[in-house]
Amino acid sequence: MPKKRSIFSYIVWSACAVVVGGAFVATPVFLIKHVASYALFLQASGDIFVRVEETINKARGKETVRVADTSLMKEKSRIYETRVLSQPSFSVPENGVALFADLREMMIRLYRDGKLEAEFPIVSKGKPGSLWETPTGSYRVKTKEENHYSTIGNVWMPHSMQFFGNFFIHGWPHYADGSPVPQGFSGGCIRLSEKDAKNLFSLVDIGTSLFVTNGAGPALLLASADTPEEEQLGYRGIETFSPPPAISGSAAIVGDIENSFLFFEKKSQESLPIASLSKLMTALISVEAANQFQKIQVTEADVAAYGEAGGLRAGDRMEMGELLWPLLLASSNDAAYAIARQLGTEQFVRLMNEKSESLGFVNTFYAEPSGLDPENKSTALDMFKLVQHLWNNKRSLLEMTAERSHKKWRNIHPFASKSSFAGGKTGYIPEAKKTIVSVFSLPFSEFMERHIAIVVLGSEDIQSDVERLRVWVKQNFAYGLESPLESQQVEYTTEDLQDPSDSLSMIFTGDIMMNRGVEQVIHKNGNNDWMFPFLYTRDVLADADITFGNLEGPISDKGTNVGSKYSFRMDPKVADTLSSAGFDVVSLANNHMGDWGRDAFEDTMRRLQRAGVAYAGGGWNEKESLEPAIFDVRGKRVGFLAFSDVGPLWMQSKEALSGIAAIPAGNAGKTYVEKSVFQAAKKVDILVVSFHFGEEYEQAPNARQKELARLAIDQGARVVIGHHPHVVENIEEYRGGVIAYSLGNFIFDQGFSVETMAGLLLKVEFNGNNLAAVIPIPVRMNEYYQPEVE
């Protein structure tokens, strides 16, 4: 426990705070662009938390969770004030152009300088009373496109004029082959004939005011075109609303941090140890109470704290603000104590508790600044409110936690590689189990994103818990204009919850190369046991229906070295080792598969087949190399294709010549991928495509990677997995699929950097044909090139 400090520490701190306070605001750490007053924060969020205070129902002796089923909601103003839909008045403006759309009369009228100029019959609108009912209200034309592609309907919409979110005025839509969409209600857009849409498009500019009504005459008119959209928006459950997933966490909460709407609660007010989530408050107190420009020296007492995260050493000197990086990214306990020591650890902890009390966190207590003490306790609800406070008042701290790395410090948050990740923190001590806060940007339409916070305490598997909750919210709620519905929460017993064990699961690894230095440590340190590299990950690899990896080179004792700068050839024992480690299928499509010529390549295919490991991206001829490896799992056909965009082109398979699926350069390569993926997708329910592409050691995908990966999804792939950069690149969700641009190294002897010794396992789950979870599992190789789950 920290040493006791006298009240003198508080007096000294108070005096220093007055002196240095003016300097604080200049540092980048304090550049907060989105500031809301504390009074406004309480007004916006305080009441809702009282109204939704959780009561744990032990109905029939079974634990329950509470879920917002907004398909049943009424009187939304009693839940959150901004849900009140005001009815704007509208009058024909004396100057300029204005549009009036009457959905009852099915007519759009265009006024210019106060006079009616043209009328355009509406041929289709959204179904009244449905989720897709066309929204009424006051708007302005936001965008214009001659031909807009809807990723929701997978149709082209000619002469499109966007007026709100995913809603447009446009001509009759058509499919990619040119055939028109059948007659019927729209998805909420206002459809005109092709001719009328073209004429209206030519008469309307971006910014033109639009009033949409269900029968009010044009004598009523737009008082203000600037009515905040936020005051008209809300959540509702979709018609096929499904129960939430079962999670391992003892307590959890999921909510919109911008409007306080709660989707899910499980024991949200039970006080539990929070471990390193404590460091969020440590960071907040640091920026509010300590001079971030102050140079400090790390002491022996600081580094005596448990754990080595952060790489701090006694004698290191740095500015106070710089310590926030190891604190928040690497979860350094040393940094927590070094920060707290500047104000006196006892005084610093007192400030942590005072701040919690001032924010209304009645069930939160801090005993020390790092989270090592199990007496550091809070609730899922209080942690959610803390994230809200940071979002509104100290967003730069959350933005720091969203960075994948800074200088020598790497973010250990498991979701840091996701492009939708907007910040968060993890923690672990035995008494707390695993704890996590994650903020995601979640799309609810093509043009609208909301920021969702997920807090889980006391978890056995934070990655799975968070991801399943995130996907559940995304798949079961819509955000948009609302009509008054009944207000209530739905309670589910644990027996009603979705069982994740019913999902079809796949695990993907990074590059596997068991030659050179890896082979040396197997002989020297692993007692010639080829399973030595898989010692810490074998159970993880086995915990899936299908496990896939990239085989970076041939498995053979045949062939001749073709003289590559780096030539790999793995011992024949590796084939059976991969099978024993849990691999079901590997990619052969990479730049090292030809290092020892076609003889070694063909020997590799034979050995893998005998070992019972399927392969993709290679074959005895072109047809075989472009044929998916197919698995029948849980009633679904899952296929795997693989391509190399980095050659070698001399190893490309031909009509009667073995080789790999090497992508030609330029547009010919896009056509090659497009046709191959399209044909393969027709043969399976779920198609996985692997690409060997990108630039080595670059941590962000280039334009070519994005083009090929998205092309594969467009042609029917559901999962795209990238290899070759040898470092982790981001994960992206795209049109109902997922793209992992690079999983980095899994087993490889590239010990020259932190980044090349780190990798990512990716677990992807499907419920039926629906993507249910995309779970990143960070790994790091030790000195013996054994990946260990972080």
CA torsion 304-307-309-310 (nearest 10°) is -10
CA–CA distance, 244 with 772 (Å, rounded to integer): 11
* Domain 8-44+246-500 class in CATH: alpha beta
* pLDDT at res. 271: 98
CA distance 562 to 308: 44
Which part of the chain has CATH 3.40.710.10?
A: 8-44+246-500
Q: Using CA atoms, how far apart are residues 237 and 486, in angstroms rounded to an integer?
A: 12
- For 651, the 3-state DSSP assignment is helix
pLDDT at 1: 39
pLDDT digits (tens, 9 = 90+) for 455-467: 999 999 999 999 9
Cα distances (angstroms) measured from residue 560 to each of 465, 518, 566: 49, 21, 14
Q: Is 76 annotated as a binding residue?
A: no
Q: How far apart are CA 386 and CA 240, in angstroms?
A: 33
Q: Which residues are catalytic?
A: 170, 189, 276, 279, 331
DSSP letter string, 330-375: S--HHHHHHHHHTT-HHHHHHHHHHHHHHTT-TT-B-SSSSS-STT
What are the tokens at 520? 């040396």
* Bridge partner list, 615: 586
Q: To the nearest 10°, the Cα dihedral for 542, 546, 552, 558?
A: 90
Q: Are 440 and 428 in contact (CB under 8 A)?
A: no
The per-residue pLDDT for range 198-218, each reduced to its tens digit, is: 999 999 999 999 888 876 444
- Token pair for residue 125? 């609108």
Q: Tell me which DSSP letter residue 632 carries.
A: E
Crossing angle between the packed helical segments 380-393 and 38-51, to the nearest 10 degrees: 150
Report, as ranges of residue numbers, the positions in the chain whose pLDDT lies below 70: 1-64, 66-90, 129-133, 135-137, 152, 164-166, 215-232, 309, 446, 482-498, 500
Residue 189's contacts (CB-CB under 8 Å, 6 or more residues apart) are 125, 126, 134, 157, 167, 168, 169, 170
Q: Which element (helix H / strand E) includes 458?
A: strand 448-459
Q: Within 10 Å of residue 360's Cβ, how many Cβ atoms?
A: 17
What is the location of CATH 2.40.440.10 in the chain?
A: 97-226
Among candidates 777, 766, 774, which has minimal Cα distance to 744? 777
For domain 503-789, which CATH number applies: 3.90.70.10, 3.30.310.50, 3.60.21.10, 3.50.50.60?
Answer: 3.60.21.10
Q: How many helices (H) and strands (E) would you count in the chain?
A: 18, 40
Q: Does domain 97-226 have CATH number 2.130.10.30?
A: no
Is the Cβ–Cβ distance between 82 and 259 less than 8 Å? Answer: yes
User: Residues 724, 593: contact at Cβ < 8 Å?
Assistant: no
- Looking at residue 373, what is its pLDDT? 98
Residue 88: cis peptide before it, omega within 30 degrees of 0: no
Q: Are 106 and 125 in contact (CB under 8 A)?
A: yes
Report angle CA 460, 463, 466 to the nearest 5 degrees: 100
Residue range(s) in the chain whose domain bears CATH number 3.60.21.10: 503-789
pTM (2 decimals)? 0.69
Q: Tell me which DSSP letter residue 700 carries.
A: S
- Which tokens belong to 327? 């604190």
* 573 three-state secondary structure: helix
- What phi and psi, each to the nearest 5 degrees, are found at residue 146? -60, -35
pLDDT of residue 237: 77
Helices within 34-94 (DSSP H only): 38-51
